Amino acid sequence: MNTTLKESAQVFPLLLILAIIVISLDGLSNFNVIDLSRLNFVSYHDMPKPAAHGKEAYSLEPSSDHVALRFDDHNYDITSDHDWESIFPSNGNDYHVSMYRQLACLDTIRRAHLILYARQSNTSETPLLLKEAQWCFGYLRQIILCNADTTLEPSVRVYDLDDVFLQDATGLGEYHRCYDWTRIRHIEIALSNSLDTGT
């Protein structure tokens, strides 16, 4: 095992923590929505700011209304490349909605995990993927702190690798105060199309 893989194997405990996050996000396409009719998303053009290539910066801002989402654990298996690829819109441009960048980071960490622990691949892209996964940990930490989900989750019994009993929480089956990500996707695609056509 080369040095890069040995060093990357040391991040395995962090990957386990991130796996809990993956499980929490598992239900992205299969959740129960309450009071979706009150959700009112708007796309707005913020004050012009410097951005890539001298273009103005855009933002997608949902209204202050939220929905309650309950995430279930039966989609987006960690080994399913197809499921993970289906999350992202096919249109691409100079603007990236943070939600998709965050999911791309999670997907990068998922692929790094599979290379290190399931597929044992030693391809030439492995060191680059592992480096990107390390950057993603910092990025996702910032996003988690930014969103600060204060949902109280009941404790569940879990056992560590040494069969020692621990208290933990999965967040699965609990209602969380969220934005409807499907609305954000529709707005992002519309914005992408308007930027592509110049309208």
pLDDT, tens digit, 9 for 90 and up, residues 42-65: 333 333 343 444 444 444 555 555
Which 3 state secondary structure label does DSSP give 166?
A: strand
Q: What is the pLDDT of residues 126-151, one digit of tens each?
A: 788 888 888 888 888 888 888 888 88
Place of tokens 């996702």: 140
Task: Please report the DSSP string for 72-127 in residue order.
Answer: -SSSS-TT-HHHHHTTS-S---S---HHHHHHHHHHHHHHHHHIIIII----TTHH
Q: Which two tokens stand for residue 179?
A: 């934005």
Model-level pTM greater than 0.85?
A: no
Q: Cα separation of 115 and 9, whole Å?
A: 11
Q: Is the dihedral of CA 40, 43, 48, 51 positive or negative?
A: positive
